[in-house]
Protein backbone atom coordinates (compact mmCIF):
# COMPACT_ATOMS: atom_id res chain seq x y z
CA UNK A 1 0.00 0.00 0.00
CA UNK A 2 2.61 2.55 -1.16
CA UNK A 3 0.33 5.48 -2.15
CA UNK A 4 2.47 8.23 -3.68
CA UNK A 5 6.21 7.61 -3.92
CA UNK A 6 8.67 10.39 -4.64
CA UNK A 7 12.35 10.06 -5.37
CA UNK A 8 14.84 11.28 -4.36
CA UNK A 9 14.11 12.53 -0.84
CA UNK A 10 17.11 14.86 -0.77
CA UNK A 11 19.22 16.40 -3.52
CA UNK A 12 21.92 19.04 -3.79
CA UNK A 13 22.59 20.52 -7.23
CA UNK A 14 25.02 23.04 -8.56
CA UNK A 15 23.63 26.00 -10.49
CA UNK A 16 23.07 24.98 -14.10
CA UNK A 17 22.79 21.24 -13.46
CA UNK A 18 19.70 19.35 -14.51
CA UNK A 19 17.69 16.70 -12.73
CA UNK A 20 14.38 14.89 -12.80
CA UNK A 21 12.15 14.31 -9.79
CA UNK A 22 10.18 11.11 -10.05
CA UNK A 23 6.68 10.48 -8.77
CA UNK A 24 4.54 7.36 -8.97
CA UNK A 25 1.13 6.50 -7.53
CA UNK A 26 -0.53 3.12 -7.27
CA UNK A 27 -4.10 4.27 -6.57
CA UNK A 28 -5.27 4.54 -10.20
CA UNK A 29 -5.79 8.27 -9.81
CA UNK A 30 -6.39 10.39 -12.88
CA UNK A 31 -5.00 13.69 -11.60
CA UNK A 32 -1.43 14.29 -10.51
CA UNK A 33 0.27 17.47 -9.29
CA UNK A 34 3.64 18.98 -8.57
CA UNK A 35 3.91 21.66 -5.88
CA UNK A 36 6.77 23.53 -4.34
CA UNK A 37 6.68 24.68 -0.72
CA UNK A 38 8.70 27.62 0.51
CA UNK A 39 8.57 29.33 3.92
CA UNK A 40 5.62 31.70 4.09
CA UNK A 41 4.43 30.78 0.60
CA UNK A 42 2.38 27.67 1.22
CA UNK A 43 2.11 25.08 -1.54
CA UNK A 44 2.34 26.61 -4.99
CA UNK A 45 1.21 24.61 -7.98
CA UNK A 46 3.91 24.13 -10.62
CA UNK A 47 2.16 21.81 -13.10
CA UNK A 48 -0.69 19.39 -13.02
CA UNK A 49 -1.99 16.59 -15.17
CA UNK A 50 -5.71 15.85 -15.26
CA UNK A 51 -5.24 12.60 -17.15
CA UNK A 52 -2.65 10.54 -18.95
CA UNK A 53 -1.27 12.47 -21.89
CA UNK A 54 -2.29 15.93 -20.68
CA UNK A 55 -0.39 18.51 -18.67
CA UNK A 56 -1.18 22.10 -17.71
CA UNK A 57 0.73 24.95 -16.16
CA UNK A 58 0.04 26.00 -12.62
CA UNK A 59 0.97 29.16 -10.75
CA UNK A 60 4.79 28.89 -11.02
CA UNK A 61 5.77 26.81 -14.10
CA UNK A 62 8.82 28.78 -15.26
CA UNK A 63 12.05 26.78 -15.17
CA UNK A 64 10.25 23.42 -15.03
CA UNK A 65 8.99 20.80 -17.43
CA UNK A 66 6.82 17.77 -16.74
CA UNK A 67 5.99 14.45 -18.33
CA UNK A 68 2.97 12.26 -17.66
CA UNK A 69 4.63 9.06 -18.75
CA UNK A 70 1.60 6.91 -18.03
CA UNK A 71 -1.26 6.92 -15.56
CA UNK A 72 1.03 6.04 -12.67
CA UNK A 73 4.00 8.33 -13.24
CA UNK A 74 4.43 12.12 -13.37
CA UNK A 75 7.96 13.50 -13.47
CA UNK A 76 9.25 17.03 -12.92
CA UNK A 77 12.41 18.18 -14.69
CA UNK A 78 14.68 21.09 -13.94
CA UNK A 79 16.73 21.72 -17.08
CA UNK A 80 19.11 24.29 -15.61
CA UNK A 81 18.77 24.57 -11.86
CA UNK A 82 18.89 27.99 -10.19
CA UNK A 83 19.24 28.89 -6.49
CA UNK A 84 15.66 30.24 -6.63
CA UNK A 85 14.53 26.66 -7.17
CA UNK A 86 15.76 25.62 -3.75
CA UNK A 87 12.60 24.31 -2.14
CA UNK A 88 10.67 21.30 -0.93
CA UNK A 89 8.81 19.66 -3.79
CA UNK A 90 5.67 17.60 -3.28
CA UNK A 91 3.92 15.33 -5.71
CA UNK A 92 0.24 14.56 -5.18
CA UNK A 93 -2.52 12.60 -6.83
CA UNK A 94 -6.27 12.39 -6.52
CA UNK A 95 -9.53 11.50 -8.17
CA UNK A 96 -12.06 14.21 -8.96
CA UNK A 97 -13.80 15.53 -5.84
CA UNK A 98 -11.63 13.45 -3.56
CA UNK A 99 -8.78 14.13 -1.19
CA UNK A 100 -5.25 14.57 -2.46
CA UNK A 101 -2.60 12.08 -1.41
CA UNK A 102 0.90 13.45 -1.05
CA UNK A 103 4.36 11.99 -1.30
CA UNK A 104 6.95 12.53 1.40
CA UNK A 105 8.55 15.43 -0.46
CA UNK A 106 11.94 16.12 -2.04
CA UNK A 107 14.22 18.63 -0.37
CA UNK A 108 16.22 20.27 -3.14
CA UNK A 109 19.10 22.67 -2.56
CA UNK A 110 20.71 24.49 -5.48
CA UNK A 111 24.08 26.04 -4.67
CA UNK B 1 -5.12 29.09 -11.66
CA UNK B 2 -7.29 30.28 -8.81
CA UNK B 3 -5.85 32.02 -5.77
CA UNK B 4 -6.74 31.51 -2.12
CA UNK B 5 -5.95 34.02 0.62
CA UNK B 6 -5.54 32.46 4.04
CA UNK B 7 -5.38 34.37 7.32
CA UNK B 8 -3.85 34.72 9.76
CA UNK B 9 -0.47 33.46 8.60
CA UNK B 10 0.73 32.91 12.18
CA UNK B 11 -1.24 32.43 15.36
CA UNK B 12 0.01 31.66 18.86
CA UNK B 13 -2.56 31.28 21.62
CA UNK B 14 -2.93 29.70 25.04
CA UNK B 15 -4.43 26.29 25.62
CA UNK B 16 -8.19 26.50 26.09
CA UNK B 17 -8.73 29.52 23.85
CA UNK B 18 -10.82 29.51 20.69
CA UNK B 19 -9.59 30.53 17.25
CA UNK B 20 -10.76 30.92 13.67
CA UNK B 21 -8.74 30.61 10.46
CA UNK B 22 -10.10 32.11 7.25
CA UNK B 23 -9.71 31.14 3.62
CA UNK B 24 -10.98 33.61 0.99
CA UNK B 25 -11.02 33.92 -2.78
CA UNK B 26 -12.72 35.86 -5.55
CA UNK B 27 -13.20 32.56 -7.41
CA UNK B 28 -15.83 29.90 -7.02
CA UNK B 29 -14.59 26.43 -6.11
CA UNK B 30 -16.10 23.00 -6.64
CA UNK B 31 -15.11 22.18 -3.09
CA UNK B 32 -12.87 23.43 -0.31
CA UNK B 33 -10.54 21.10 1.52
CA UNK B 34 -8.66 21.62 4.77
CA UNK B 35 -5.34 19.89 5.40
CA UNK B 36 -2.95 19.69 8.30
CA UNK B 37 0.78 19.31 7.74
CA UNK B 38 3.40 18.14 10.21
CA UNK B 39 7.11 19.01 9.78
CA UNK B 40 8.82 16.80 7.21
CA UNK B 41 5.56 15.31 5.97
CA UNK B 42 3.06 15.97 3.21
CA UNK B 43 -0.35 17.50 4.03
CA UNK B 44 -3.09 15.19 5.28
CA UNK B 45 -6.77 15.87 4.67
CA UNK B 46 -8.97 16.94 7.59
CA UNK B 47 -12.25 17.60 5.81
CA UNK B 48 -13.88 18.47 2.48
CA UNK B 49 -16.84 20.85 2.16
CA UNK B 50 -18.79 20.79 -1.08
CA UNK B 51 -22.13 22.55 -0.72
CA UNK B 52 -22.47 26.29 -0.20
CA UNK B 53 -23.30 26.99 3.46
CA UNK B 54 -22.18 23.52 4.53
CA UNK B 55 -20.90 23.07 8.08
CA UNK B 56 -18.87 20.04 9.18
CA UNK B 57 -17.59 19.19 12.62
CA UNK B 58 -14.59 17.09 13.52
CA UNK B 59 -14.47 16.90 17.32
CA UNK B 60 -13.44 20.44 18.40
CA UNK B 61 -12.93 21.62 14.81
CA UNK B 62 -15.78 23.23 12.87
CA UNK B 63 -15.47 23.88 9.14
CA UNK B 64 -17.79 26.10 7.13
CA UNK B 65 -18.12 26.70 3.39
CA UNK B 66 -19.43 30.10 2.32
CA UNK B 67 -22.81 30.34 0.63
CA UNK B 68 -21.17 31.43 -2.65
CA UNK B 69 -18.49 28.71 -2.41
CA UNK B 70 -15.71 31.31 -2.47
CA UNK B 71 -14.59 31.18 1.14
CA UNK B 72 -14.29 28.89 4.12
CA UNK B 73 -13.41 29.01 7.80
CA UNK B 74 -11.93 26.66 10.37
CA UNK B 75 -12.91 27.23 14.00
CA UNK B 76 -11.16 25.41 16.83
CA UNK B 77 -12.82 25.36 20.24
CA UNK B 78 -10.75 25.00 23.42
CA UNK B 79 -7.47 24.59 21.55
CA UNK B 80 -4.98 22.05 22.85
CA UNK B 81 -1.20 21.74 22.34
CA UNK B 82 -1.85 18.76 20.06
CA UNK B 83 -3.57 21.13 17.62
CA UNK B 84 -0.22 22.79 16.89
CA UNK B 85 0.69 22.54 13.21
CA UNK B 86 0.35 24.07 9.75
CA UNK B 87 -3.24 24.28 8.51
CA UNK B 88 -3.83 24.63 4.78
CA UNK B 89 -6.98 25.27 2.82
CA UNK B 90 -7.23 24.07 -0.77
CA UNK B 91 -9.81 24.73 -3.45
CA UNK B 92 -10.82 22.37 -6.23
CA UNK B 93 -11.55 23.95 -9.62
CA UNK B 94 -11.59 23.15 -13.32
CA UNK B 95 -14.00 20.29 -12.99
CA UNK B 96 -12.21 19.30 -9.77
CA UNK B 97 -8.98 18.59 -11.64
CA UNK B 98 -7.22 21.68 -10.33
CA UNK B 99 -6.22 21.98 -6.66
CA UNK B 100 -4.87 25.28 -5.33
CA UNK B 101 -3.60 25.82 -1.80
CA UNK B 102 -3.57 28.86 0.43
CA UNK B 103 -0.33 29.94 2.10
CA UNK B 104 -1.23 28.22 5.32
CA UNK B 105 -1.67 29.16 8.96
CA UNK B 106 1.07 28.24 11.41
CA UNK B 107 -0.76 27.52 14.65
CA UNK B 108 0.98 27.21 18.01
CA UNK B 109 -0.98 26.29 21.12
CA UNK B 110 0.97 26.99 24.26
CA UNK B 111 0.30 24.90 27.39
pLDDT digit string (tens) for A54-71?
A: 999 998 999 999 999 899
pLDDT band at A96 (very low <50, low <70, confident <90, very high): confident
Interface size, chain A vs chain B, as Cβ–Cβ contacts under 8 Å: 69
Q: Do A42 and B41 touch (CB under 8 A)?
A: no
pLDDT band at B93 (very low <50, low <70, confident <90, very high): confident
Residue in chain B closest to A5 (alpha carbons) equals B42
Looking from the CA of A12 toward its CB, the CA atoms found within 13 Å total: 1
As a three-state string, the secondary structure of A18-83 is: CEEEEEEECCCCCEEEEEEEECCCEEEEEEEECCCCCCEECCCCCCEEEEECCCCEEEEEECCCCH
How high is the pLDDT of residue A39?
85
Q: Who's near B68: CB < 8 A, 6+ residues apart?
A: B28, B52
Q: Judge contact between A93 and A33, C-beta under 8 A.
A: yes
DSSP H or E segment with residue B41 = none
How high is the pLDDT of residue A61?
96
pLDDT band at A40 (very low <50, low <70, confident <90, very high): confident
In tens, the pLDDT along B41-59 reads 899 999 999 999 999 999 9
Chain B residues touching residue A41 (CB < 8 angstroms): 103
Which percentage of chain B shows pLDDT scores above 90? 77
Q: Which of B33, B42, B102 sits opposite A90 (nearest CB)?
A: B42
pLDDT band at A2 (very low <50, low <70, confident <90, very high): confident
pLDDT at residue B76 tops 80: yes
How high is the pLDDT of residue A91?
97
Q: Judge contact between B73 and B7, C-beta under 8 A.
A: no
Going across the sheet that includes A19-25, the strands are: A4-7, A19-25, A74-78, A64-68
Beta bridge partners of B19: B76
Q: Compute the distance between CA of residue B64 and CA of residue B75 in angstroms, rounded to an integer.
A: 9
* Mean pLDDT of the region A38-46: 88
How high is the pLDDT of residue A1?
59
Chain B interface includes A90 (CB < 8 A)? yes
How high is the pLDDT of residue B92?
87
Decide which of B29 and A34 is more confident: A34
Amino acid sequence: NAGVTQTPKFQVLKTGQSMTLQCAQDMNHNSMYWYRQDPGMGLRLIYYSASEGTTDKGEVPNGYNVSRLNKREFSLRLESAAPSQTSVYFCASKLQTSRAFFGQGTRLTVV
Amino acid sequence: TQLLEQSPQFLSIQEGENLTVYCNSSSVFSSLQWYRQEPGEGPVLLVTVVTGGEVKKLKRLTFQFGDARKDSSLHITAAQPGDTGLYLCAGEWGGADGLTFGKGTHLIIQP
